[in-house]
Structures are given as C-alpha cells and as structure tokens.
Structure 1
Amino acid sequence: MKNNIYRLFLLVTFFLGVAACTNDFDEINNNVNSPTVDKAAPDQLLTNAIESMTDRVHEIFLGHEMGSCWAQHMAKVQYTDEDRYVYRPDVVNTTWSSFYAANGSDAALIYKLGGERSQPNYQGVALVLQAYIAAELTDLFGDVPYSQAWKGAGEDGGILSPEYDTQEAIYRDIIAKLDEANSLLDPDGTAIAGDILFKNDITKWKKFANSLRLRLLLRMSDRDASLATTEMSKIVGAPATYPIFESNSDNAALIYLGSSPNNNPINENRKSRDDHRVSKNLIDMLVDMEDDRLMVYANPAEGIDEFVGIPNGLTSADAAAYNGNGLANTSKIGDYFTAATAPGMLMSYAELQFILAEAAKKGYISGGDASAQTYYENGIKGSFEQYRAPLQAVIDADGTTLGGLTVPTSVDAAAANVIANQAYNANDALRLIATQRYLATFDQGLQTWFEWRRTGFPVLTPAVSGENGGKIPVRVPYPQIEATRNGTNLNTAIARQGADDLNTKVWWDVN
C-alpha cells in the first residue's frame, strides 16, 4: 500500500533526511498530516516493504543493466553504456536512498511495532527483510552504514551521520539476526497480515530465513570457513528447528499483480523500451550444453528464427549492426520473464540446492561427494521444475523445433539430459556447481553477479568495448549524495576499504 504517512515519519528518523518513493501496492493513507508511529499498521507496512524491496532488486537499471549485463545473462542492443561499464550516478543515488530510506526504514518500523504490540512474528519477518536489504547493500558497495543506520530519531539515538561498518562486521551480524529471526518466527503464534510474499505463512518465512542464512554463510566462507562449517552444519543437521526450502513451492518470489504500477519491472520497462537482449555468452553456453532452458530464457530472433545472443559491451553503433540488424536478428528475453505477472525472484529452491552442493563438496556439511552430487542433480531438476509451465508450453505447441533447436519430449527428459551432459565430477565439482547455479539464476542479475565475483565461474570475457580497463566490475562506487551528506564517515570507509571504483574487491571476494 502507499504508506506515505509512514515513510514520511521514517525519513525523519533516518539520517540526513533522505527522500524516496517506490511503487507501492494499493491505497494512500488519508491522514497525511499526522505521521506518527501510533497510526502505523505493521500489515500495511509489510505489504509495501516486500513490494518496494523486490522492485528495487529487479529494477531495470540496477538489476539488469548493471547486474544482468555485468554477469552476462543479458546484453544491450542500444543505449549500451551500462553494458560497457559506464553506470549512471543517479541510479546509484536512488539505489542507496531506496534501500535505506524506504525499504530498510519500513522493515525497521515493522520490527519496532512488532515489539511494542507483542507480535514477534512481525519482528521475525522484519529481521529477514532487514538482512536481505543489508546484504544487498554491502554486496554492492562493501562497507556501508549498518549498526547506526535507521537510528535518526531521538529515541533511537538521534544519529544523523552514521558510521560505516566493515563488511565483515555486517555479515556476522546479519547471520546472527537471521538466527534470531528463526527463533522469533512461530507458526503457532499470532498470525500476521499484509504478507504478499508468502501469504502470511510463517513456516515459509522460517525457511526463507534459514535458506538466506546458508546463502550468506557460503558467500563469506572463504574468509571464515570455521563459522561456515559450524553454522551450516547446525542448520542442515536440525531441519525441525531450522527448516529450509524443500521444493519450488517454498521459493521466495513475489508474484506481481499484473496491472500498472504493480507489474514486474521488466514488463514496465518494455512498454516503452526495446534495449535488452540475451547475452551471446549465455546462449552459447546453453546451446553447447544442449540445455532446453534456453527456450524459456530467450526467444528466437524475430528476423531469422534462430537463437542468437549479442556480445556484451558493444558500442551502440556496433550493436545496431550486429548480425546484419541487431534489433531484428538477436534474441529477446523470453516471454515468461517479461510478462506483467512474472515473479520477482529473491531466492529459489534450486539455488539452495547448489549452495548445499558446494557446502558438501567443501566439507562445510556432511556427506562429501555423494551428497554434493545429489544436491547438484536436485538443483538442476529443481531449476527445470521451476520453469516447467513455460517449457511445457513449448513442448505442447505444434512443431518439433524452435529456433532451429529440437524441442524436448518432456521437461523431465530435458533435465535428465543436462544432468547427463554436465555429469557431476569430483575433480571438477566446484566449477560445475557454480556454473549450474549461474544458469539457474537467470533474471536474478545482482545475485548472479555477486556469485560470479565470489567463484570466478563461469569464465567471462570483459565487455568488447568496455570502459573499465579491460575488467568486469566487482563493486559499485558509493553514491555521490553521500559525499555531501556524510562525507567524513564516507572518507573513513574509503581509506579503510580501498579506492572508490569498480575494481576494489569487497571483503568476502578473495577470488
């Protein structure tokens, strides 16, 4: 809902009066002249927090022109600046303001209201949202305000110039907060309302909390394998206490309503733009692997009825001329992902299976190669199951070929083919697992880019006409607005972390 009354209150409590707005779900609160906590309703805040956070993660410039293009899932066919690593400072400013002043502030107030009203399930949900937001911020920028963020109100400390926490400290606290969330979330406790992600199902929030915790533990594991081993083993070893995703029915995916402004962000963008194509890197990988997910991820080029990707980082002129006619003769993003009701994925069962596969291979959880192989194959099966409906539609359509490729006989056969073609190999397991995770997270540009930075797989070639010294970015520079709003603390963070550019690695990135 359009909880402008609540956001106005929160902007006062956040540092330096950041102003922000998001696409919200429903109605405007009538009494905009009384922005008080007493009038805030956690269910209304929750609806807005979920939708606005998912919008930001999948926002076209951040999620796709940066995330998906830099991870080489997508590419630009015109206006190619971001694909050549020339990012827009205003996008970075908006990202920072939205995650802090909008999304994070909603979550902070939900937590506060849950405590005041003795509704711990709201507190648990709020901690999961805060963890997701904080992880996105630190994975984008590195050191960011965290422990002093959202404390601008006098009762919360009156901190208007928050210090920057190290990424290490942020990660350790996020992991602890997700453990706290699991403890707070009680399916038998007082019900919540306003949950458009899991329809007020607290068990699914517990699964999300623990699955997200596993994601973040693995991401920091090269820096602290001991913590990863202790915590991941604890979660996997006690499923009754720490439930995790068990199937695609548990996926953390927001199903958009399908009417403006509550459409999937790609759908909203495509109403007036035709800038994006599927990357040549991705299409070539899928063709080489005989992976029929290609028929969901991409459409055959309209001009030549073939699956043709476009190289990342062409100039606009070269992209327009590519393959004779870049707009007509390259593959657009598949219809499944551009539909108004396309899901905004935050985390999937398939991704979790690949996390567990890597954890088993590295010895963070028990089972060794035998378990790693099972998780690996479950991840592939889970990804195909996630796309069963659109792939089945291809199978059911008339014709035995699509874009020059043979249509599979069944979804299960297509999955089995990839499992056979990309068979688990103990000597090459980490590359195989990382590559399949990369393929399974199409349309999740930021997470795919984060993981590529951590693993280095698959091997990617920098943009053809990139403007970053022949390197793929591994970080987003801080927003320009921070230099004037919180310059002293910003400069301290830069001095500690390294140059404020696209190439300074964050703490967990030791690849």
Structure 2
Amino acid sequence: MKKIVNHILIIALLYSAASCEKNLSKLNVNETNSTTLDPALLLNQAIVNTSFPVKSLVFDLGIVQQMVSPNGGVLAGANFNQDSRDVTTAPLWTAYYQSVIKNTYDALAKSKDLATRTNMYNMGRIYQSYVFMILTDEFGEVPYLQGGAGLAEHIMFPKYDRQQDIYPKLIQELTEAAAALTTTSTIETGDMLYAGDVARWKKFAYSLLLRAGMRLSKIDPAKAQSTVQAAVAGGVITANTDNAFIRHDANFNQPIGNTLNGSEAANFYLTKPFVDQLKNNNDPRLQAIAIRYVGATGSTTQTVAVGTTDPTKQMGMPMGKDNGTIVAQARADGLASFYDYSQADRRRIVKVSSPVFLITAAQTNLLLAEARFRGWITSGSAAQYFSDGIKAHMDQMASYDANSAIAATARDTYITANPLTAGTELEQINTQYWIASFLNGPEAFANFRRSGFPALTPNPYGQPNNPDVPNGTFIRRLTYPTSELSVNTENVNEAIGRQGPDKLSTRVWWDKP
C-alpha cells in the first residue's frame, strides 16, 4: 500500500512540474502592455528627445561666441578650446542615437508597409534626416545607413558613412518624402510638431532641403544651386506660423533652460562679441535677451532687485578667460566681479518652459537672401529676404516670453537703419543668421563654419600649446565619444583614416577652407 501511495505522489509531482514548465513562458510576459507601439508615439518620442542638450551650451554656443563660462570641470569646452568628449560631447551622440534615431528608425519600420500610414512614414523620413544632418555636421563621418539598426537588425557595431555620401542621401530622402506627403492619406493628428498638417510638414522638409543645399555652397556650388532651387520650388517656411519648434513645460523641461535655472545659473554669460554686436547697432533684441545683475559679487546676489535689461548697461564677458583671469578682467571692466557680466535672462528667454526652435522663418529668409544674392534663385530680392529675416526673428522673440516681445516700431526702426549694403552682403546676411540662430547651437555652429561669418576673432585660450586647436584657429567639429573608440574600434578608426585625425580642429567634408 505504501508503494502505491509513493507512486501516486511521484506521478502527481511530475504532472505539477510539467504544468509549471508549461507556464514558465508566461512568467516574463506583461499581459497588460501593448505588444507594439504606434509609430506616431515613436516619432513623438524622437521629437521630444531632440531638444538641444547641455553639450550645445558648452560647445556650440561657445564656439560661435554667444554664451560662455569662465569655469572649468564639466563646463570646460569651447571657452578653453578643450576636448571634453566624455563629459559634454558624448551625451549628444548617446542621446541622438539611442533616444532619437532609434525611435525614428522603429517608426519607419512599423509604418513602411502600412498603406494607410504613408504620411507617418514620410514624416519619419523627414525628421530622421533632420537629426542625421545635425549628427554629421557636428562629427563628420557617422553611422548613417546602419544607424539605428542595432536592435532591429542586430547590428551592434555600425559602419560609418562618409559625409559626402550622407548628404546626397539626405537630399534624396527630403525630396522624395516631401513629394510623397498627401492629404488623401491618413492625417497623423497625434504628431506633436505640426499635428499632421501636410502643408507645414512639406515646408519643414523643403526648408531642410534649402539648408542642406546651402551647406554645399563651398564644396559643390552646382549641386548647392540645384538643391536650393528644388527647395524653393517646393515651398519653404517664410512665416513664423510655420516655424518648427519643440514645446516645453514644467513637466518636460527645456534642457538648457533647466541647466541655467539650476546649479549652473551663475556660471554662463553672454559674450562680449555677441553683446557688442547688438549693443553697437542699437539692436532691440539685446533688451529682449539680456539681463545684468548690477554689482553682483556671487550667485546669491544675482537677484531680481539688481537685475536690469537696459541695453545701455549690458556688458558681455570677454572670450578666453578662466576663473582666475576673469577676476582681473572684471575689475578692469569696472565690474564688482564676473557675476556682474550680462547673462541670457533665465526668467524670460531661457526658462524651463522655453521652446526650442529647429527651423524658423528668420533662418530660411536669410538663406533665401544669400541664395538670391548668389543668383541661384530669381524670385524676390536679396534685400527683401534680408529684412524679412530680421523682422521674423524679432517677432519670434515674443514666443519665449511676453516680456521679450519687441515693439513693431523698434523693429522697423532697426530694419530701416540696417539695409543690405552692396559689398558686404554675405557678411551682413550671415551675421544676422548668427543672431537669428541664438540658442540653436548646432545650426549656428554649422553656418558659421560654412559662411565664415560673423568675422569673429579666434578664442585665444591656451592655443599656442594646444595640439587640438592651433593658434589663431577655431574648433571645426566635435570628437567621437570614447565608447565608440573602445567598442566600435574598427569602424570608427576606418572613419578617422578617411576623414582625418579625431581632433576638434579637423574639418568636416563640406567645411572647405
């Protein structure tokens, strides 16, 4: 009897084990989660993660001499002509590939074969092209064809593509995707950039195409001209109502605004070249952008009570000073301390809820002014595009804060006093582009390299003994993160072999001397 009971127990245990094994496959399945994501959610995730990171503040805005910090450590970068690849440049690479390109890649994969989602597919192509343009402009050769394919295609070590191969593909993608957008397909109302508005997405694509064409102005003028003509024929952004920008709020903070309203509030200052450009030309944008905490001797004394937005009282921080030499410089400038220099007003233009502008009517009109001056297009006049670009940017200031709005009379007075003048057209146009791209670090950096304007003096800090940024030169690109050098070694070294040394001073393909 005892043996029979034991056999029964063994059989029961076997059935129990079999039952457990059968249910093991369900243990790691979350049955409350969707097994697939709508591509619209993926595209939106890509858009929100594109907001320019702090890297743009430390490098891009410093290279083009608009904002700078005299402090080192994690803030060292453009003002020290210092390569900080692991602290400040690597986050751009990581954020854009892991949080932006991965999402656009997945959105494209999920929408490509859906007949009812053709607009989503082409919106994804356009946005991905925008982000890849930033990546290749900042670094040069980057993974393009295999970028974003890690999880989907198990490509863990993507090959790098030459920039001269990437640009034609970007131009092709933008051209084809813009043409394919249609009002007869599903309107993707959940899109957070334009709520699926086909006409505005087309303008976004053609404005990007215009930007891509102008990048080629030195390296391939014929291709630049034909690309610009195609963009203009398609229709570009010329009014602020069509501006492409990312919205922020108290829950989703603007990265630079979050930084400048947090621990680094007293560490970044408007530069002397930027402030002087606005101040010396009675530019009303200075009052809309700047604040100076008069007499401040430390972060705790930068209070509202001593703050002034009076343009006549603004003073920019000179380039190339560290937290030792800036003390004597501030004293020589008649200031209480370096905390007394002008800053971008964190209560107006760089709030945590400030928008991040990607492409604007101001930028596009100014590129049209240059294209018209070069004779690449025949519509309109360079002078009119020039003034329209200035007007658009001044009107755009109200989007940051009501207290940054510029009165129409002040705007028109400035425009009348600063017409496009024969013999200085390229300098005037691209200096205005520099101003209109304030806070859009990647674009300001790219256009400064392309055009050579404004005519800035190279940052002198440490250059005589700096192997990365030789004396009298500018930073020309960002360097690859250490993670790529150590993990994707073969492919990144192949790119370096083609492009040149992995240094800040190495030029990207289109940045022809």
TM range (shorter): 0.7 to 0.9
Q: Check whether the contact 1:78–1:275 (CA below 8 A) recurs between aligned residues.
A: yes
Q: What's the offset of the Cα at 1:365?
A: 1.2
Q: What's the offset of the Cα at 1:430?
A: 0.7
Q: What's the offset of the Cα at 1:505?
A: 0.7
Report Cα offsets for 1:190-217 as digits up to 9, x if no partner. 0214322223323221111110110111
**Gap change, CA 1:414 and 1:187, over 3 Å in 2:** farther
Q: What's the offset of the Cα at 1:390?
A: 6.7
Report Cα offsets for 1:398-431 as digits up to 9, x if no partner. xxxxxxxxxxxx7223222332333212321111
Within 2, Cα distance between the matches of 1:199 and 1:389? 19
Within 2, Cα distance between the matches of 1:411 and 1:249? 18
Aligned counterpart, 1:141 = 139
Q: Check whether the contact 2:355–2:399 (CA below 8 A) recurs between aligned residues.
A: no
Q: Check whether the contact 1:84–1:312 (CA below 8 A) recurs between aligned residues.
A: no
- Say which SS state the counterpart of residue 483 (structure 1) adopts: helix
> Which of the numbers 104, 109, 116 marks the counterpart of 2:106?
109
Q: What's the offset of the Cα at 1:34?
A: 8.6
Is residue 2:76 matched to residue 1:76? no
Q: Check whether the contact 2:397–2:404 (CA below 8 A) recurs between aligned residues.
A: no
Aligned counterpart, 2:451 = 455
Q: What's the offset of the Cα at 1:113?
A: 1.2
Aligned counterpart, 2:255 = 265
- Say which SS state the counterpart of residue 165 (structure 1) adopts: coil
Within 1, Cα distance between the matches of 2:225 and 2:135? 25
Aligned counterpart, 1:377 = 387
Structure 1 residue identity aligned to 2:480? Y
**Gap change, CA 1:33 and 1:175, over 3 Å in 2:** farther
> Which of the numbers 315, 318, 321 marks the counterpart of 1:311?
318
> Which of the numbers 129, 132, 140 marks the counterpart of 1:131?
129
Structure 1 residue identity aligned to 2:392? G
Q: What's the offset of the Cα at 1:93?
A: 2.4
**Gap change, CA 1:301 and 1:386, over 3 Å in 2:** same
**Gap change, CA 1:183 and 1:359, over 3 Å in 2:** same
Gaps of 5+ in 2: 1-27, 296-305, 464-468
**Gap change, CA 1:117 and 1:32, over 3 Å in 2:** farther
Q: Check whether the contact 2:354–2:400 (CA below 8 A) recurs between aligned residues.
A: no
> Which of the numbers 231, 237, 243 marks the counterpart of 1:235?
231
Within 1, Cα distance between the matches of 2:399 and 2:142? 40
Within 1, Cα distance between the matches of 2:33 and 2:219? 43
Within 2, Cα distance between the matches of 1:327 and 1:188? 59
Greater Rg over alpha carbons, structure? 2
**Gap change, CA 1:360 and 1:507, over 3 Å in 2:** same
Report Cα offsets for 1:160-198 as digits up to 9, x if no partner. 332211111101100110012102322342021432222
Within 2, Cα distance between the matches of 1:498 and 1:307? 42
Aligned counterpart, 1:85 = 81
Q: Check whether the contact 2:250–2:352 (CA below 8 A) recurs between aligned residues.
A: yes
Q: What's the offset of the Cα at 1:464?
A: 3.9
Alignment of 1:316-331 (within 5 A): 316-324=323-331, 325-331=336-342
Structure 2 residue identity aligned to 1:279? T
TM-score by length of 2: 0.83
Is residue 2:491 matched to residue 1:484? no
> Which of the numbers 147, 161, 165 marks the counterpart of 2:161?
165
Q: Check whether the contact 1:422–1:432 (CA below 8 A) recurs between aligned residues.
A: no
Within 2, Cα distance between the matches of 1:322 and 1:453? 29
- Say which SS state the counterpart of residue 116 (structure 1) adopts: coil
TM-score by length of 1: 0.83
Aligned counterpart, 2:11 = none
Structure 2 residue identity aligned to 1:81? A
Within 1, Cα distance between the matches of 2:400 and 2:97? 36
Within 2, Cα distance between the matches of 1:394 and 1:134? 32
**Gap change, CA 1:394 and 1:111, over 3 Å in 2:** closer
Structure 1 residue identity aligned to 2:283? D
Is residue 2:444 matched to residue 1:437? no
**Gap change, CA 1:346 and 1:198, over 3 Å in 2:** same
Q: What's the offset of the Cα at 1:388?
A: 4.1
Aligned counterpart, 2:199 = 203
Aligned counterpart, 2:23 = none
Within 1, Cα distance between the matches of 2:440 and 2:314? 21
Alignment of 1:344-493 (within 5 A): 344-367=356-379, 371-388=381-398, 393=403, 411-467=407-463, 468-470=469-471, 471-493=473-495
Q: Check whether the contact 2:398–2:404 (CA below 8 A) recurs between aligned residues.
A: no
Q: Check whether the contact 1:218–1:355 (CA below 8 A) recurs between aligned residues.
A: yes
**Gap change, CA 1:464 and 1:223, over 3 Å in 2:** closer
Structure 1 residue identity aligned to 2:69? K
Q: Check whether the contact 1:211–1:245 (CA below 8 A) recurs between aligned residues.
A: yes
Within 2, Cα distance between the matches of 1:289 and 1:490? 46
Within 2, Cα distance between the matches of 1:389 and 1:148? 38
Aligned counterpart, 2:53 = 59
Within 2, Cα distance between the matches of 1:222 and 1:447? 17
Q: What's the offset of the Cα at 1:108?
A: 0.7
Aligned counterpart, 2:300 = none
Q: Check whether the contact 1:73–1:445 (CA below 8 A) recurs between aligned residues.
A: no
Q: Check whether the contact 1:277–1:330 (CA below 8 A) recurs between aligned residues.
A: yes
- Say which SS state the counterpart of residue 300 (structure 1) adopts: strand
Is residue 2:243 matched to residue 1:248? no
- Say which SS state the counterpart of residue 367 (structure 2) adopts: helix
> Which of the numbers 80, 91, 95 marks the counterpart of 2:92?
95
Is residue 2:347 matched to residue 1:332? no
Report Cα offsets for 1:449-469 as digits up to 9, x if no partner. 111111111111222424533
Q: Check whether the contact 2:238–2:362 (CA below 8 A) recurs between aligned residues.
A: no
